Structures are given as structure tokens and as C-alpha cells.
Chain A
Amino acid sequence: MVTEDAFPKFEVDLRRGVIVLATLSQLGTAQYGYSLRQRLAQSGLEVEEGTLYPLLRRLEGQGLLTSEWRIEHGPPRRFYVLSDQGRTLYPQLVNSWRNLSAVMENLFKEGLPNDA
């Protein structure tokens, strides 16, 4: 049974992987949490602080990012940037995303009408 609040739940699941890829895409140059969130928002992807900031830590824990404290025009901030492992993995993930996206587009064309 689909309830009224089913959409947010499914959307969260859908966005989970996308946010990781989006985050990696912006960390070719060092960013701190707030500036990264601003960049993503300017590109149209709103990510809650409570999701993004812990995610940066987890990605660092998985070896995809490195981080350091820096003082640049203001208080000390922790800056994150892609690690070597992250730089190797990122193009592979982008490739995979493009393939998936193309497949999904085909499926949507062949499947049920889906104009929201």
C-alpha cells in the first residue's frame, strides 16, 4: 500500500547515491562543508547540512577524500579534497552513472507514461 508520505522516503533512497557522486564531483579543488553545500545548491542540488557534513567524514573514512584544517579569510575550517583513490574512482562512477542514466531514459520511454 502506497501512503501519502511514500514519496519523501523513496526520494531519499534515490538521492542517496546521487549526493555521493555530486559531492565527489565538486571536490577536485578543496572545499569546506558550508562552501560545498553552497556550490551544490547553486547548481540546483539542495542537500541538508545534517546529511552533507557527516557524509564528508564518511567519505574520508573510506579513503576517497583527504582533509585538513585551514585558516583562510575567517575562522578555522576543515577543507576536503579528493584523495588519489577518490580521483581514480570518480571517473568510473561518472561512467557508471551515465550508463545507468541512459538505460533509465530508455526504460522510461518504453514504460508507463510518467509526466508528473
Chain B
Amino acid sequence: MTPDDMIQRYAQAVASRLPHAMRADVRAELYALLHEDIQAVSTNGAPTLKLVEDRLIAFGPPQEVALRYHRPAPIIEDVDTPLFSKLALGFVLGLTVLALSIGLSSPKPLSAQLEERLKDASFMVLGVLLVCFWALGALRRAQPKLFAWKPAKLPAVRDPDLISRPLALSAVLAGSSGLLILMNPIAFFDLLLDGQIPSMLAYAFTYDHQFLSERAPLLWGMLTVSLLILALAMLEGRWRPMSRNLALGLSLVIALISFWVVLAGPIFVAATTDQAMKFWVALIAGITCIDVWLKWRDQRRAGDPSYLKPR
């Protein structure tokens, strides 16, 4: 390779990374400029290969130089990156929890098939997300007025420790009712159907004896305690560090107990109900684990924001 070949190759390598419309022009200009520049620094008229190489290294890698000539629009804009990361992570975590729940609750061949489909779905979801964000960026560049920022549209500042009493009361009532139904589903259906519960329905919701004697008391006991903590926090009107940490720790414990409940043996006598229940218990436990991790992370990052709290 001659020194001139090297300059030509370099100009070509830079130009090939640019839009078609400017390639030929930049290649010719860059070649002419580099040629002249190298001629000027070569002492005896004919530049050596080593000299050309040194000058080109100083000029920079072709991909970087091409970016200096033309910076293409990003696939995901900087302003959208945090939201994209959150959504992508949320989808991947959600699908992982779903796959785990299916794996724990379904028979092996079915769960393997479903997990395989979920794996495909996760790639598809990420692909769709990427296309959506690319389209969002393109629309923002094309129609900046559509995305004009207005202070009035900013979300209200929320005190994370403040508890909405009506919402908390609804949660406590719904949680208590759900727990009561969970403790005795047959009695609930009996009440609902005016004492005419079909035997098949009663069989479908009959708990496994071992579950009732070993695992149920612990799970239901912990759920009751967590409802009590929520009720106490509601009465106070805000979370305190102690009640928040207690609720967080208890959520994690309930999630771990839930996994143990699913893995240790049947919950219901009937296989179909058992499978469905295990799926939902595992799914809720997985989501709870993620929720605990996110809240714990937020709490750690927040440090001691005492200056933000109302006095």
C-alpha cells in the first residue's frame, strides 16, 4: 500500500459513514486536504507510510470523524432515555415474574412451552418499545410545537409519606374482605348462592389439609399483621420511618412465604384450582418482591430528605 492509497482509504472510510448526498464531496475534499497537509509536513517531498499513518491517527478514527461531519438523529433521544430504561426494565421484570409464576404453577411441558413464548414476547415488546421511542423522537424533531413545555402541566409535588385516608380505608376494607374470602371461600360462595353451593364448586375450593394446618396460618397471619399496620398508618395519616420499614419488611416476608406456599405442596385439593391459585400467588409474590426492591432503592437514594418534609 502506498501513502496515497492509505489517504484514499481513510477518506473513503470516513465518507462511507455519511449520508449518500455528501459522500463523494467529503471524500474528495478530505482527500485533498489530507494530501496537502501531509505534503506540507513531509521533509523531503515524498511522505512515508509511517508519517501518513501518524497523521491519520492524529486526525481520528473514521467513525469519530464521520460523526464530526454529520451527527445522525439518535434512535432514542437523551430526554427519553430514562423513561425508555424504566419501561424496558419494567417489561423485562414483569415478563420474568410471569415466566417464574407459570414455571412454579403449571405442569412441566406446558410451562416450558409458555416460558419459550414469553422469551419471544420479551424481545418483541422491547422491539416495539424501541420503534415507539424512535417514532416519538422523529415526531418531536418534526413538530417541536406539539411538545411545547408548559409549567402548568407539571405534576403536583406529592409528599410520599402522606396517606390518603379514603384510599387507605378502601385498601384496608378490600384487603380484609379478600382475606376473609381467602380463609373460607366455600362459606363465601355459600353466602353468595344463598346456601345452594354446587358440590363441584365446593370441591374446587376445598383447601388441602396440610396447607390448612401448616402454611395457611403463617400466610394469613402475616397478611393480617400487614393490614393492621396499614390501618394504624391510616389513623396517623402518614407513614413514619418505622411504620414504612415495618410494612416494607413485612411485604418481603409475605412474598417469601408465598413462594414457600407455592413450592411446598398443593394449596387446593382440585388440581385446576390449585394450579390457578399457585400462578396468582407466585405472580403477586414476584411483583411484591420488585415493588419492595424499588421502594427500598428509592428510600436509600432519598437519604434523609428532612428539608422536604412539612414542618
Contacts and interface: CB of A to CB of B under 8 A. Distances in A.
Interface of A: 32-34, 37, 48-51, 53-55, 57-58, 74-78
Given A33-B33, A76-B32, A78-B32, A50 B26 contact: no
Given A53-B30, A78-B25, A78-B29, 19 more contacts: A32-B33, A34-B33, A48-B59, A49-B33, A49-B59, A50-B60, A50-B68, A51-B68, A53-B29, A53-B33, A54-B69, A55-B68, A57-B22, A57-B26, A75-B35, A76-B32, A77-B36, A78-B28, A78-B32
Contacts of A75: 32, 35-36
A77 B60 contact: no
B121 interface: no
Contacts of A74: 36
Contact of B37 (A49, A54, A57, A78): A49
8 contacts: A48-B59, A50-B59, A50-B65, A51-B68, A53-B30, A55-B68, A77-B32, A78-B25
B148 interface: no
Contacts of A58: 68-69
Contact of B36 (A34, A54, A55, A57): A34
B27 to A, nearest CB: 12
B139 interface: no
A54 B68 CA distance: 6
Most chain B CB within 10 A, of A33, A53, A75, A77, is at: A53
A60 to B, nearest CB: 10
A33 B59 CA distance: 14
Contacts of A55: 68
Counting contact residues on chain B (CB < 8 A from A), the size range is: 20 to 34
B125 interface: no
Interface string B1-42: 000000000000000000000100110111011111100100
Nearest to A75: B32
B30 A34 contact: no
Nearest to A55: B68
Contacts of A48: 58-59
A53 B40 CA distance: 17
Contacts of A51: 68
A48 B69 CA distance: 14
A33 B32 CA distance: 10
Nearest to B67: A54
Given A48-B58, A78-B32, A34 B40 contact: yes
